[in-house]
Amino acid sequence: MRGGNVFEHTIAELLRAIRLGQYLVGDKLPPERELAARIDVSRATLRQALSELQTAGVVDVRRGRYGGAFVTRLPSADTGAGVDLGELDDAVRFRHILETSAARIVAERELGAEERERLISAERSCWMPLGSSAEDIEQFRALDARFHLTIAELTGIPSLAHAAATTRDRINALLDRIPFIHTNVEHSCTQHQQLVAAILDHDAEAAATLAAQHAEGTEQLLRGFLEGDGSTKER
């Protein structure tokens, strides 16, 4: 698979297969080589994804002669309970439109020295030493939100910045429902760095594309974990 969110795609595909009954609780997943070929990713990416799903309690990876990856629970058993799929769909689609547009607008602007420094500072602050405590997760969410809101505010359009803040609240509320995945955080910070570089280079097309890929990565994780039997459809 080619693209900017291979890891997130792999997580989503594994969760989807488990949720749809291709692999039931207690089942052993196919051998690594076969499974990687099915998803069209490298074995290294597959191992990363399985490691994170083991941390999340969805699979158990065992080593040795009789080892392998075994399904331990359905991904929607608790995380997806009560999630409105209409709200999920609306939030991720609106975020995609909003942040892609904001990135393009800011890239087309001639930012002043203070504005450039503010953007760079917001990006760099996301590279914090990250543990797994609730406080660490809350701090990263706040720094991540500040980065995205900084871009929205630099458009110079107050109503867009306000919409971005509201949307970020909605996205964070959904992210709080799924396991915190460190590999995704590292990937997100790298994407932030690339996005800032495109903005400062005045490459509006690249900035919009990177913003879209970044939003799509989060969307894949949210849909992978939350779209299940425990969720509700809008009526």
Tens-level pLDDT at each residue, the chain (235 residues): 556 789 988 998 998 888 777 888 899 999 999 999 999 999 999 999 999 899 888 999 998 888 899 999 877 555 555 678 899 999 999 999 999 999 999 999 999 999 999 999 999 998 876 666 777 788 888 899 999 999 999 999 999 999 999 999 899 889 988 988 888 888 899 999 999 999 999 999 999 999 999 999 999 999 999 886 445 554 3
For the whole model, what pTM was predicted?
A: 0.78
1 within a domain of the structure (yes/no): no
79 within a domain of the structure (yes/no): no
pLDDT for position 140: 87
3-state secondary structure of 7: helix
Q: Which residues are 71's β-sheet partners? A: 59
pLDDT for position 59: 94
pLDDT for position 135: 78
pLDDT for position 11: 92
pLDDT for position 24: 85
210 within a domain of the structure (yes/no): yes
76 within a domain of the structure (yes/no): no
Residue from 125, 228, 234, 123 nearest 177 by CA: 228
30 and 99 together in one domain: no
The enclosing domain of 124 has a CATH number of 1.20.120.530
Alpha-carbon distance of 138 to 160, in angstroms, equals: 24
154 and 176 together in one domain: yes
92 and 196 together in one domain: yes
CB 185 within 8 A of CB 130: yes
Total tally of structural domains belonging to the chain: 2
35 and 100 together in one domain: no
Amino acid identity at 175: L
102 within a domain of the structure (yes/no): yes
* Structural domain of 100: 85-226
Rounded to whole angstroms, what are the CA distances from 218 to 25, 75, 175?
26, 16, 9
135 and 186 together in one domain: yes
235 within a domain of the structure (yes/no): no
CB 222 within 8 A of CB 92: yes
172 within a domain of the structure (yes/no): yes
